[in-house]
């Protein structure tokens, strides 16, 4: 209340200095007034961010905090209404208490982003049930165990007890999730038939082994708990008691929670269809248009995105043909694709040794890039990065690779996860591009730097504009080539293959959700136009289906970053500095592409002015 009152007094005092709106527009505010108003608004942003954290025990854990350590988030459908009301209250506060003209530049950007977030929350409310909470990519059935394994640290007995408390809390969580699934079905939102087989298998995997059954194998969660507790070096009796309590929680709470979910999914499976696109939903076309707008942060239509994809696929095929000639391959591009798909020189063996070799080489690629970062960046993250294989219980359905951000307090490094379930889908010629995208200079640079910034409020450190984040990731695959990486032509082919993959995504995502392509048509398009393994093609199309629009972000974002960079080069000529450009892109956290364009142009204008 004091903060609101103080900010109101400042704004009223400023308003009193002028007698009409026109005079306001020309008014000059003192530096003190600007900094006070900006400071008050930033306090408000941080206070609201803390409110969001207080409502999310899981986010607290992600941040490295151990408050509410034994609790889960609210997964009930009532949370949507609560979030809607909160967004309306926040917009009302901005309207009544903030005068944008009095804010400094950084705070004005924060104001715009915060305001837009609330407006989007309200606009998206009608589509709150237009998703699949249980899906093969990131469904709760696998993400909740993964959260315990990867996020819940056990540094004390209290931490172990909190872990057990979370195990015992899963029945309530799954009750809320099941309720949401049933409401979605009432609204005609049920995953396609293929999803059920995948998620049911993953769900059953969680409750396999000891203590769920008399088995030689230990279940994933019990193994995780025991491994963490054993590192505490407790007296044997205390350690055994904790493990016994965890086993009890797994049998009494986790098993029935999963069994209820499995029963619900088996029931819905009977009514699932093979219709894959969101066009099947009521207002499906409107929903997809909204998704593309949110994902790309542009007004590009589905047809425009489809055509961009077709154009990029054609261009990259041409560059691949040039590499094919360079290595002396005789035959068509399709023949070359088949060669790259099947020749054993490009694959590690599907054995523990082969997988370890892959992880070691991926780590080496990242370490080699670390040495060259000064050539590309002025600002570098403090947080380190490690490479891990995706855990066995979810590797069959999880994506090819992904990044997990570090803890903001430095207690956990960033992680590049490689999915080594099918080594035929992880060719060595794509290793460089994949490591640059997920690790350095890709997601780790962008996300870790954003978290470490002191110049922006907390809500911006965790901003998630997919076109910006994934556009940077794909751009980061390209940049190393400019400083001498991808010296092996096959590795350079791998870079192009990765860019081609993202270009095909523009075609297939819009094909499925706007043009009514089937799952099989999408798979055939990937198989005909890329060198990737068939398993890769299947997983990608299935990802499009359960995450509509998401995969369009990569190429749209990359194209915009390159467009802005090349335009800045033309304007600044010899005064263009790539490292400064990267600072401009990275040092404000994630932003929509239109705002990124403004930021780059402001930098160009300031450089021009300083030269003059």
**What are the tens digits of pLDDT across the range 570-597?**
999 999 999 999 999 999 999 999 999 9
List the one residue out of 503, 501, 511 whose CA is nearest residue 536: 501
Q: Report the pLDDT value the prediction gives residue 27, as an integer from 0 to 100.
A: 54
pLDDT score of 408? 84
Q: What is the pLDDT of residue 393?
A: 80
Residue 10 has pLDDT above 80, yes or no: no
pLDDT per position as a tens digit, 483-520: 999 999 999 999 999 999 999 999 999 999 999 999 99
Cα 489 → chain centroid? 30
Sign of the CA dihedral with 20 first, then 21, 23, and 24 last: positive
pLDDT of residue 26: 34
List, for residues 190-246, the tens digit of each pLDDT value: 999 999 999 999 999 999 999 999 888 999 999 999 999 999 999 999 999 999 999
- Compute the Cα dihedral for 247, 251, 255, 260 and give only its sign: negative
**Domain residue limits, the chain:** 2-54+78-127, 140-274, 287-558
Q: What is the mean pLDDT of residues 96-123?
A: 96
What is the per-residue pLDDT for 398? 77
Q: 558 near 474, Cβ under 8 Å?
A: yes
The predicted model gives 25-39 an average pLDDT of: 82
Burial of 487 (0-12, 13-18, 19+ CB in 10 A): exposed
Share of the chain above pLDDT 70, in %: 96
Per DSSP, the three-state class of 316 is helix
Other CB atoms closer than 10 Å to residue 298's CB: what's the count?
Answer: 18
Above 50 in pLDDT, residue 171? yes
Residues 202, 136 contacting (CB under 8 angstroms): yes
**pTM over 0.85, yes/no:** yes
Query: What is the rounded average pLDDT for all residues in the chain?
Result: 93
Q: Which of 589, 466, 585, 591 is nearest to 602 (CA)?
A: 585
Question: Is residue 4 scored above 60 in pLDDT?
Answer: no
CA-closest candidate to residue 505, choices 399, 359, 387, 356:
399
Instruction: Quick: pLDDT tens for 256-278.
Output: 999 999 999 999 999 999 999 99
Instruction: Determine the Cα–Cα distance for residues 339 and 185; give it in Å rounded to an integer.
Output: 45
Name the token pair of 607: 């450089």
Strand pairing category for 401-404 and 414-418: antiparallel
pLDDT at 15: 36
pLDDT in tens, 292-323: 999 999 999 999 999 999 999 999 999 999 99
Tens of pLDDT, residues 407-435: 888 888 999 999 999 999 899 999 999 99
Task: Report the alpha-carbon distance of residue 488 to residue 327 in Å, rounded.
Answer: 10
Q: What is the mean pLDDT of residues 98-112?
A: 95
**What's the pLDDT tens digit per position in 438-493?**
999 999 999 999 999 988 999 999 878 999 999 999 999 999 999 999 999 999 99
Cβ(377)–Cβ(582) below 8 Å: yes
What confidence score (pLDDT) does residue 13 get?
A: 33
Tokens, residue 302:
């589905």
DSSP 418: E
Give the neighbor-by-neighbor strand order of the sheet with 385-389. 385-389, 414-418, 401-404
Evaluate if residue 377 carries a pLDDT over 70: yes
The set of long-range contacts for 130-133, using a CB threshold of 8 Å and a minimum separation of 24, is: 130/189, 130/278, 130/281, 130/287, 131/184, 131/189, 132/184, 132/189, 132/191, 132/195, 132/546, 133/177, 133/180, 133/181, 133/184
């Amino acid at each position: 209340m004091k903060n609101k009152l103080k900010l109101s007094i400042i704004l009223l005092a400023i308003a009193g200095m002028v007698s009409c709106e026109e005079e306001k527009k020309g008014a000059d505010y003192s530096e003190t007034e600007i900094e006070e108003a900006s400071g008050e608004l930033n306090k408000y942003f941080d206070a609201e961010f803390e409110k969001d954290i207080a409502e999310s025990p899981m986010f607290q854990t992600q941040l490295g905090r151990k408050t509410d350590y034994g609790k889960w988030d609210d997964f009930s459908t009532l949370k949507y209404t609560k979030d809607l009301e909160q967004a309306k209250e926040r917009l009302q506060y901005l309207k009544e208490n903030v005068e944008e003209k009095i804010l400094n530049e950084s705070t004005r950007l924060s104001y715009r982003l915060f305001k837009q977030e609330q407006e989007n929350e309200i606009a998206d409310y009608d589509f709150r049930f237009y998703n699949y909470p249980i899906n093969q990519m990131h469904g709760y059935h696998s993400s909740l165990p993964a959260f315990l394994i990867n996020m819940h640290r056990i540094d004390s007995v209290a931490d172990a007890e909190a872990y057990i408390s979370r195990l015992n809390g899963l029945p309530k969580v799954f009750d809320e999730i099941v309720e949401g699934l049933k409401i979605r079905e009432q609204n005609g939102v049920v995953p396609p038939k293929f999803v059920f087989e995948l998620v049911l298998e993953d769900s059953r995997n969680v409750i396999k082994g000891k203590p769920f059954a008399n088995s030689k194998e230990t279940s994933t969660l019990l193994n995780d708990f025991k491994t963490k507790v054993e590192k505490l070096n407790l007296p044997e009796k205390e350690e055994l008691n904790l493990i016994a309590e965890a086993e009890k929680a797994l049998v009494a709470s986790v098993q029935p929670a999963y069994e209820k979910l499995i029963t619900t999914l088996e029931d819905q499976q009977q009514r699932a269809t093979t219709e894959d696109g969101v066009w099947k939903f009521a207002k499906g076309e409107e929903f997809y248009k909204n998704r593309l707008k949110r994902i790309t942060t542009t007004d590009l239509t589905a047809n425009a995105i489809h055509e961009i994809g077709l154009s990029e696929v054609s261009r990259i095929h041409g560059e691949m043909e040039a590499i094919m000639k360079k290595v002396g391959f005789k035959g068509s591009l399709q023949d070359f694709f088949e060669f790259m798909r099947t020749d054993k020189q490009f694959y590690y063996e599907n054995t523990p040794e082969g997988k370890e070799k892959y992880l070691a080489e991926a780590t080496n690629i990242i370490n080699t890039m670390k040495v060259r970062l000064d050539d590309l960046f002025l600002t570098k993250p403090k947080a380190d990065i490690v490479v891990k294989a995706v855990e066995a219980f979810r590797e069959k359905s999880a994506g090819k690779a992904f990044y997990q951000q570090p803890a903001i307090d430095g207690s956990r490094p960033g992680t590049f996860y490689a999915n080594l379930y099918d080594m035929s889908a992880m060719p060595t010629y794509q290793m460089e591009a994949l490591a640059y995208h997920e690790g350095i200079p890709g997601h780790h640079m962008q996300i870790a730097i954003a978290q470490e910034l002191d110049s922006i409020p907390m809500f911006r450190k965790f901003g998630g504009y997919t076109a910006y984040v994934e556009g940077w990731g794909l751009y980061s695959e390209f940049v190393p080539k400019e400083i001498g990486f991808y010296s092996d032509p096959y590795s350079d082919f791998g870079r192009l293959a990765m860019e081609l993959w993202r270009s095909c995504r523009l075609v297939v995502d819009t094909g499925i959700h706007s043009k009514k392509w089937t799952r099989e048509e999408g798979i055939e398009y990937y198989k005909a136009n890329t060198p990737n393994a068939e398993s890769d093609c299947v997983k990608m199309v299935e990802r499009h289906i359960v995450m509509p629009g998401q995969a369009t972000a990569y190429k749209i974002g990359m194209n915009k970053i390159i467009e802005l960079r090349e335009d800045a080069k033309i304007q600044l000529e010899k005064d263009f500095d790539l490292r400064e450009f990267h600072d401009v892109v990275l040092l404000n956290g994630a932003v929509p592409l239109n705002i990124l364009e403004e930021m780059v142009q402001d930098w160009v204008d300031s450089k021009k002015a300083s030269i003059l």
